[in-house]
């Protein structure tokens, strides 16, 4: 069903005729509530993440809603911790800049201007490598009448 068909069905059901912005908000909020209610297996996926030499952060894709697991290319887990724990135990003014072939700890810092999450790493990678991240995929809002919800 396209977004336009959803809007028309909602118009018909509640007797509206020209409230597209309000209907779009209602449909997108309902989608967000549905997605946040459960860890849906069809939203789980994985991706390779490039860890760059002497860089203590990495920007993730804009489709990342929640990071589930993070592994080095050798399959060793990178522990995911809450930002408060990371700031207290691993921030640069508490711990000397430590480098290692692979990071051991990571936390989600916030979002970039693109809406993508940024992650802080400790130990800072001493060589460029690839990590594997398992995550929950974000379902984008619909706005055009021809849009459809992907993966729902």
- Give residue-wise pLDDT tens across range 91-105: 765 555 677 778 999
- pTM of structure: 0.74
- What is the spatial distance between Cα 127 and Cα 88, in angstroms, rounded to a whole number? 26
Helices and strands, counts by H and E, the chain: 3, 9
- Give residue-wise pLDDT tens across range 107-133: 998 876 777 889 999 988 889 999 999
Question: From the CA atom positions of the chain, what is the Rg in Å?
Answer: 20
CA-CA distances (angstroms) from residue 132 to 67, 73, 98, 135?
Answer: 11, 7, 22, 10
- What is the spatial distance between Cα 52 and Cα 39, in angstroms, rounded to a whole number? 30
- What is the spatial distance between Cα 98 and Cα 30, in angstroms, rounded to a whole number? 45
- Give residue-wise pLDDT tens across range 8-64: 777 777 766 666 677 777 888 888 888 888 888 989 999 999 999 988 899 998 889
DSSP 142: P
Q: In sequence order, which residues have a C-beta less than 8 Å from that of residue 32 and are 6 or more positions away?
A: none
């Amino acid at each position: 069903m396209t977004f336009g068909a959803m809007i028309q069905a909602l118009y018909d059901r509640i007797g509206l005729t020209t409230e597209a912005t309000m209907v779009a908000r209602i449909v997108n909020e309902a989608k967000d509530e549905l997605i946040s209610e459960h860890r849906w297996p069809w939203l789980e996926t994985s991706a390779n993440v490039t860890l760059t030499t002497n860089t203590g952060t990495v920007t993730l894709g804009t489709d990342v809603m929640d990071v589930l697991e993070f592994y080095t290319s050798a399959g060793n887990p990178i522990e995911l911790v809450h930002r408060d724990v990371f700031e207290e135990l691993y921030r640069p003014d508490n711990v000397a800049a430590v480098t290692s072939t692979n990071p051991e700890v990571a936390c989600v810092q916030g979002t970039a201007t693109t809406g993508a999450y940024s992650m802080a790493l400790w130990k800072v990678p001493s060589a460029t490598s690839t990590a594997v991240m398992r995550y929950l995929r974000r379902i984008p809002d619909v706005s055009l009448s021809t849009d459809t919800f992907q993966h729902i």
